[in-house]
Amino acid sequence: MSTAAQVLAVVIAVLLASVWVMESFLYRHPRLYPLFLLERRDFDAVKLWIVNLGFYNLTTGVALALGVVLARSGHVPQGEALVAFTAGQHVFLALVLLATERRLWVNTLLEGVPAAVLLTLVLS
């Protein structure tokens, strides 16, 4: 796996950890309302799915970091497979997000474009 792919995987992993914090702990903050299309009255209704979504993002970030660790420790095929799968998953999820809520097109780009670049780097 190239150095560029490894660096991008780690950057995306850190971003996913940041999203985990926002979704799982800070989703009630007024600055995040537009990011999640939330309003104060929605908090109780969305708590279950937004906290779970945050932890999904954390585990995929961990998977990316673990893929890099595997690749750097001599388990290149396994590391590449893990990174490729996780990147492909995020490309797919970005498309699902766009299909289900077009107002979140910026979120779609932020999730999908780096993942697509990473997938291209790993598979090339």
pLDDT at 79: 97
Is residue 104 within 8 A of residue 112, CB to CB? The reply is no
* Position 33 pLDDT exceeds 80: no
Give the rounded percent of residues in the chain with a pLDDT score beyond 90. 64
- Report the C-alpha gap between 124 and 118 in whole angstroms: 10
The residues spanned by each domain of the chain are: 3-123
For the record, the structure tokens of 60 come out as 């995929």
pTM of the predicted protein model: 0.86
- Residue 32: which of 115, 104, 89 has the closest Cα? 104
Q: Mean of the pLDDT values across residues 53-67?
A: 94
